[in-house]
Structure 1
Amino acid sequence: MSGRFQGRVVLITGGARGQGAVEARLLVAEGAQVVLGDLLEEEGRALAGELGPAARFIRQDVTREADWQAAVALAESLGGLHGMVNNAGIYVPRTLMQTDAELFERHMRVNQLGCFLGMRAVVPAMERAGGGSIVNISSTAGLRGSPGALAYSATKWALRGMTKAAAVDLAPRGIRVNSVHPGPIDTEMVKVWTNEQRAVRLSQIPMGRIGQAEDVARVVLFLLSEESAYMTGAELTVDGGASL
């Protein structure tokens, strides 16, 4: 590994498992310290223990401003805050007519409000650190219509627009904001699919396989690194060509 994140501190929401956990492992391997925010305390603490002194876990509900403040304070205690990944999200696929107001609002609070609160919360700390990089995890459902996932799609489209607006606002502050749009990725989130649904999704991917968390994590690391220093407001698709 290159050690390109030596001396950097990165906060990852939804960091206890899936994409967030893989991102944390890769970042630590490249010299970063990571703060893992999640509601899954047992899994989060186990991962932090596995990663050793370079990792800290904090119980975090991304819809609560107080939890964001605590997570940012923990990151700053490690030497500043240089990167943040808005990775936490929920996916409960329902069609328009199956979606009630409660389910729609639940998606909005976690997937959209949580990311908004996160971007606001990290700005002062990143400014104190001399700048930083925010990576928002959207979805290909935020680029095109996604059947049977009305609320999820709505929030991922919103996150796409929020990313671009924040990129303009924060560029003068030395903070970059980019979004990543994964297609089907083999994590806990897609276990709601039936075997038939999985087969249909697979048939739509030109590269012929469901994505792995590592496929997304390596793109996230690129956006957190200085290798993407002149990129902000960008949206990178990681879907094996499924949205072509």
Structure 2
Amino acid sequence: MIKALVIKDLYVSYQGNQVIQNVSFEVEKGKLVGIIGPNGAGKSTLMKAILELIPRDTGVINIFGQSIRNFRKFVAYVPQRSDIDWDFPITVLDVVLLGTYPNLGFFKKPKKEDKDWAVECLRKVGMENFKNRQIGELSGGQQQRVFLARALVQNTDILFLDEPFVGIDVTSEETIIKILKELRNSGKTIIVVHHDLSKAEKYFDDLLLLNRSLVEYGTVNEVLDPEVISKAYSNQTFYVKERAKVSLS
């Protein structure tokens, strides 16, 4: 059976410093996976390296048995909100329509059916009434839901989200995780960079614990074991153990 994602011996450097070291893991199709670890662990760097948004030193990356270059248009990515220019003069609908371009071909514009599908994806995230608003006018949670709609419009088999729950309201967070679980249940594979250990058990099937190198990859219960968690959060052992206990109770 072809794995959704296979990473072998991945090393990544940034400004001359090696920030990802010897990371290898495999993700099965139809899993909702959280990437967790302390600040500075390289979580977002790992995701960007997998997507070839930044170069890697060495390593093999395969998505459904293919290189990311051959499979790129079948991959959806929601970046961190801090990576986006919210002042750019573009409407909510146009943001979502950007997700249709990988399948349109050169010099082709979205057709009526593409626009109808984009509106439907906005409806799924509860943002269809905001389609003509400028993206920068929305709240953080609303913006994140719009970018999830952009990912949905691509109708891909695998989605990557980088810290989608940071700085958003409870309603938006609940909406997003509900949709991600529905996608998982339909057979999609979803990889999420996440920081809140207290919600990890509720949100994910499997966890990847990272601290520059791979500390552990497995089920939520396996990774949230206090002894495992403390290997990555060495300076926050008591705090993390208590949170792990809460999340496992």
Same fold (TM over 0.5): no
What TM-score do the two structures reach when normalised by structure 2? 0.33
What TM-score do the two structures reach when normalised by structure 1? 0.34
Higher strand share: 2
Higher relative contact order (Cα pairs below 8 Å, separated by 6+ residues): 2
Higher helix share: 1
- Larger of the two Rg values belongs to structure: 2
